[in-house]
Amino acid sequence: MEILDLRHFSSADLRPLLEEEIAVWGRLLSWDYATSAEMILRYMDAKILPGYAAIERGSIFGYSFFVYEQNKGVIGDLFVRDGGRGPERHEVEERLLSHVIETLQQSPGIHRVEAQLLAHNTGEVSRPFLQQGFSRHPRVFMNFEIGKHPQASQPALPPEFEIRPWSEQEYQSAAALITAAYRGHVDSEINDQYRSLGGSLRFLNNIVRFPGCGAFDPRASFVVFQQRTRTLAGLILCSQVRPDVGHITQVCVLPEYRSAGLGETMLAASTKNLSERGFRFISLTVTEANDRAIALYKRIGFKSTRVFDAFVWEG
Ligand SMILES: CC(C)(COP(=O)(O)OP(=O)(O)OC[C@H]1O[C@@H](n2cnc3c(N)ncnc32)[C@H](O)[C@@H]1OP(=O)(O)O)[C@@H](O)C(=O)NCCC(=O)NCCS
């Protein structure tokens, strides 16, 4: 087995492996990975996707790539084909990750590396990260089966608040809300975009304008205002990750307006909209340490389906 730079290869070399990965994401996460896969293949052909490929008998059977975002490296993916002869899958995953981590840690100007490996169970590939000084944050993938929860008990919003569909006009205020909602929060250790207005704008851009986390679904996304002050108090953003699955990519409420039912009302509004449009499931990810959010999701009917890891290194 050899580990080679991904940029030596073309999309035709990687496509068969990505087709297997699409099947794995569908099975484990009810997530159609095809759009992300197409994006990866386009980057491959443009020879601009940094990463490594594991090669056996001339073909790619594992890969990992990363992207640079200003002073940060983000590990985008890791996938190794299972079974067959040749080296153990786990060993290959660790070797690929070690190469990626070493490259990023030695890249001039890179002071931070982040990774979230949704399709890998917690602890499964943590060794190379922990050896290189990363911290690990277990995160929970949760799923809600819409048909099992009739919409009878819609919570009422306190009268001073108003819920409205998401609008692009809210871009700046939404970024300010995200920054305020995550101040001192564990999720801003995992994703440093939450720590500044500019970072939160980039986060919003990634969610709303790019298909990296599913196709943004404005109809299932909402904002809550406090009427008197016209303050944006909360928001929920939803993407479509499969024709019948919505994914909550963001839900947050300003600290001073919490525990008043805003979070639950926004989740109910997204659920109602998705249900009316024939969606069957809603998924989301939440940091295990965020016990209040988890308590809220469980109370509503979300079930934990898997635990994966987020890793962070700061040089
Ligand atoms: C999670 C979050 C969106 C919930 O919004 P919310 O408007 O407070 O939610 P609700 O009022 O509908 O439900 C609150 C319930 O959730 C829990 N809860 C969540 N955050 C809470 C907080 N800061 N204080 C008290 N209870 C909280 C409690 O169980 C609470 O029940 P209670 O109202 O009976 O006390 C909000 O706490 C938040 O913005 N947190 C920071 C960002 C975040 O963690 N987002 C989720 C990422 S996956």
Give the residue whose CA is nearest to atom 45 of ligand 1. 252
Q: Which CATH architecture has domain 143-305?
A: 3-Layer(aba) Sandwich (3.40)
**Is any ligand 1 atom within 6 A of the Cβ of residue 292?**
yes
- For the chain, the structural domain boundaries read 2-133, 143-305
Dist CA 228 CA 5 (whole Å):
57
Cβ proximity of 137 and 186 under 8 Å: yes
Closest CA to 5 of 41, 43, 40, 52: 52
Q: What is the CATH number of domain 2-133?
A: 3.40.630.30
Taking only the tens of pLDDT, the chain with its 315 residues reads: 899 999 999 999 999 999 999 999 999 999 999 999 999 999 999 999 999 999 999 999 999 999 999 899 999 999 999 865 556 899 999 999 999 999 999 999 999 999 999 999 999 999 999 999 999 999 999 999 999 987 756 678 999 999 999 999 999 999 999 999 999 999 999 999 999 999 999 999 999 988 778 999 999 999 999 999 999 999 999 999 999 999 999 999 999 999 999 999 999 999 999 999 999 999 999 999 999 999 999 999 999 999 999 999 999
In the numeric block, which tokens belong to residue 287?
Answer: 């940091």
Instruction: Identify the burial level of 54 via C-beta atoms within 10 angstroms of its C-beta, where 0-12 means exposed, 13-18 middle and 19 or more buried.
Output: buried
Q: Please give the distance, rounded to the nearest whole angstrom, from the Cα atom of residue 158 to the centre of ligand 1.
A: 15
Q: Please give the distance, rounded to the nearest whole angstrom, from the Cα atom of residue 288 to the centre of ligand 1.
A: 14
Q: Please give the distance, rounded to the nearest whole angstrom, from the Cα atom of residue 263 to the centre of ligand 1.
A: 6
Pocket of ligand 1, candidates 178, 179, 258: which has the most ligand atoms within 8 Å of its Cβ, to mutate?
A: 258
pLDDT score, position 151: 72
Verdict on whether the full-model pTM lies above 0.85: yes
pLDDT score, position 156: 82
Give the residue whose CA is nearest to atom 35 of ligand 1. 259
Q: Which helix (H) or strand (E) holds 267?
A: helix 262-276
Let me know if the fold of 2-133 is the same as that of 143-305: yes
pLDDT score, position 149: 87
**Is any ligand 1 atom within 6 A of the Cβ of residue 286?**
yes
Q: Please give the distance, rounded to the nearest whole angstrom, from the Cα atom of residue 104 to the centre of ligand 1.
A: 36
Q: Please give the distance, rounded to the nearest whole angstrom, from the Cα atom of residue 242 to the centre of ligand 1.
A: 27
Which residue do the tokens 């980057």 mark?
Answer: 43
Report the SS3 class of residue 88: coil
Contacts of 9 (CB under 8 A, 6+ apart): 44, 53, 60
pLDDT score, position 110: 97
